Amino acid sequence: METLNRLRTGVIIISDRAAEGTRPDRTLPIFATVLEDTDFILERKSIVSDDPGEIERALYALQAENLDIIFTSGGTGFSPRDNTPEVTRLFVERLTPGLDEAIRSYSQKKSPYAIYSRAVSGIRGRTLIINLPGSPDAVQQILEFLLPTLEHPLRLLKGEIKECHPEGARHD
């Protein structure tokens, strides 16, 4: 696939244990595998602790790279150290609640625990940020659900296309 037209993607793994090196991260390989042979190219990745300052610094660093999309993975549950949604809400300029609702609705069909996700998504500048859970299986399922629909809104956000509705799409 031609690299020039691919959507530039970043991933931030948010996990105290993975950042400390006491547990290997199993989610980054899922991103790499699922994004392979798609319109998305994984350009930047980082692993940080659940510390709000570290999450914020990682978001700023990746957004400064003018990436099209940043996925976070982890820190979206009920643990006292789960800070990802709060940091993301403060970081983004515009929330995208329909995306959050769609992910939770889809995920609820896969796991009854999906209703406990506090994940959020939003836009900062021309970058879309989406919080995903820390579970490798959930990440794979959600990516496979989202990727077929993400290209059009991301290209709108970048200003590459002007039409709000993709060719052949219906919105009844």
Nearest to 88 by CA among 129, 47, 58, 125: 129
Answer with the residue of higher pLDDT: 164 or 42: 42
Q: Which domains does the chain have, with CATH numbers?
A: 7-158 (3.40.980.10)
> pLDDT-derived band of residue 41, with 50, 70 and 90 as boundaries?
very high
Q: Model's pTM, two decimal places?
A: 0.92
Judged against a pLDDT cut of 60, whether residue 46 lies above it is answered with yes
pLDDT tens for each residue of 58-103: 999 999 999 999 999 999 999 999 999 999 999 999 999 999 999 9
pLDDT in tens, 145-154: 999 999 999 9
- Tokens 């696939």, residue? 1
